[in-house]
Amino acid sequence: MMHLARELQSSIDTWADQLWRESRLAQLTRSGALSERALALYLESLRFLFHHSQRNLAAASTRARAVGDERLANIFGAKASEETGHDQWASRDLSGLTRSAVSGVEPATGSRQLVELQRELIMEHHPLCFFAYSLWAEYMTVRLGDAWLNALASNGYARTSVTAVANHVDADREHAAEGFAVLDQLWDGQPERALILRSVERAQTLFEAFCDEVYLAAVGAEQRVASTHSGKPGQR
């Protein structure tokens, strides 16, 4: 039987490759057409995610200890400490954008739903499901991070202006490699394999929706500019 970690990694690889090929946001960004407003939405959503993920990691540590898994509790506790201040990376990146780009920007619905999923996995399922979610987030960041940073650079957004991405790519390289081995060590057959894999699949679906929201923000900005130039405001 395939190890759980190997199965999870293989499924993430397949999904990540498909996302990079087919995501409208990835295609738009590779073409150099990601608007500053869309970037602001993306960064504000990351800020929101990072802020709540730190809190949820601390909650997961408490929950893991309550179910008698001291090793998992310690892992979550260490991760919570490592995440401290990461939301400030996104805040600093946002401060470098124009006032019009960041004015009134709020976290995307997809990012809010990811935070809700985190809480559900911790409190209503099993903290190991949240560990698999965290591993997915880290591995995805490493798997796609460099290509995503190169695409952002083609739009004029250098690594130094998107530190919320660049710093996580650098920090997660080692974490992701270690995480799969740790997953197999932690998993003793409970919760069920299908539940763990389904937790990651749900996260992937929500992340795809988040990417679509950022894409639509970019397309909407282009359409507004086109309408203004045509002298027919509001016409689409």
pLDDT digits (tens, 9 = 90+) for 190-210: 999 999 999 999 999 999 999
**Greatest CA span in the chain, whole angstroms?**
66
Extract the tokens encoding 106.
């709020």
Is the domain 4-223 a CATH 3.40.640.10 member?
no
Flag whether the pTM goes above 0.85: yes
Of the candidates 26, 52, 50, the residue with the CA atom closest to the CA atom of residue 38: 26
Each of the 236 residues of the chain gets a pLDDT tens digit; together they read 459 999 999 999 999 999 999 999 999 999 999 999 999 999 999 999 999 999 999 999 999 999 999 999 999 999 999 888 999 999 999 999 999 999 999 999 999 999 999 999 999 999 999 999 999 999 999 999 999 999 999 999 999 999 999 999 998 887 787 899 999 999 999 999 999 999 999 999 999 999 999 999 999 854 444 444 444 444 33
| Distance between CA atoms of residues 164 and 159, nearest Å | 9
The backbone torsions φ and ψ at residue 189, rounded to the nearest 5 degrees and listed phi first, read 105, -10
Task: Name the residue type at position 218.
Answer: A
Q: Residue ranges per domain, the chain?
A: 4-223
Q: Which of 9, 1, 2 is nearest to 180 (CA)?
A: 9
Mean pLDDT rounded to a whole number for the chain? 92
pLDDT of residue 14: 98
Measured CA distances, 195 to 27, 44, 119, 126, 128 (Å)? 32, 30, 15, 9, 10
Rounded Cα gap, residues 108 and 54, in angstroms: 18
Q: How far apart are CA 197 and CA 194, in angstroms?
A: 5
Cis peptide upstream of residue 233 (ω within 30 degrees of 0): no
Per-residue confidence (pLDDT) for residue 174, from 0 to 100: 76
pLDDT digits (tens, 9 = 90+) for 113-138: 999 999 999 999 999 999 999 999 99
